[in-house]
């Protein structure tokens, strides 16, 4: 009797594990957003975006937070740490920047970039913490050519 109970428990556990893995695949399949087909609500350079947030953070949050925007600026730094790709765009002030957390599908394109190169990225604005934060960013090559 105990052996039958253990077998059915193991089979039930494996069934739940399989269903969980399948559901995870469906739910997280497109978790990284593809912004290439989305239109940006604003196109700014890094100076304009940073100045907007430093002068009136509340207004800038209402304009840009959670929305797709396009930002042009010069690369200050490119980082490939902990399976994350980050590009920091600088502004004239050089104190603040725009931190662009890049979509992983951009890795090969990013390897071709260099510091001080002028680029345009499209991403979802998450707000301001000394630097402006953009998530799920993609390079906009039509603007960079």
Kindly report, residue by residue over 49-86, the tens digit of the pLDDT: 999 999 999 999 999 999 999 999 999 999 998 888 99
Q: What is the pLDDT of residue 25?
A: 59
Per-residue pLDDT, 77: 93
Q: What pLDDT does residue 145 have?
A: 45
Rounded-to-integer distance, Cα 142 and Cα 145, Å: 6
Q: Which of 94, 95, 49 is nearest to 70 (CA)?
A: 49
Comparing 19 with 76, which gets the higher pLDDT?
Answer: 76
pLDDT of residue 106: 87
Mean model confidence pLDDT for the chain: 84
Considering only CA atoms, which of 127, 121, 115 is closest in space to residue 63? 127
Q: What is the pLDDT of residues 21-55, one digit of tens each?
A: 766 655 544 445 677 778 899 999 999 999 999 99
Higher pLDDT, 5 or 90: 90
Q: Give me the pLDDT at residue 56, please.
A: 94
Please tell me the pTM assigned to this model: 0.72
Indicate the domain borders of the chain.
1-31, 42-144
Domain 42-144 has CATH 2.40.50.140: yes
pLDDT at 144 over 50: no
User: Quick one: pLDDT at residue 142?
Assistant: 53
């Amino acid at each position: 009797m105990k052996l039958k109970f253990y077998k059915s428990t193991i089979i039930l556990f494996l069934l739940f594990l399989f269903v969980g893995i399948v559901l995870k695949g469906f739910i997280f399949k497109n978790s990284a957003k593809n912004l290439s087909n989305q239109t940006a609500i604003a196109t700014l350079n890094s100076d304009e975006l940073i100045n907007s947030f430093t002068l009136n953070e509340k207004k800038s949050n209402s304009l840009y937070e959670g929305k797709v925007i396009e930002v042009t600026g010069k690369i200050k730094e490119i980082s490939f740490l902990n399976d994350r790709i980050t590009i920091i765009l600088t502004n004239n002030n050089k104190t603040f920047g725009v931190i662009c957390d890049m979509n992983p599908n951009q890795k090969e394109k990013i390897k071709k970039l260099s510091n001080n190169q002028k680029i345009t990225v499209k991403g979802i604005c998450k707000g301001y913490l000394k630097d402006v934060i953009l998530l799920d960013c993609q390079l906009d090559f039509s603007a960079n050519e």
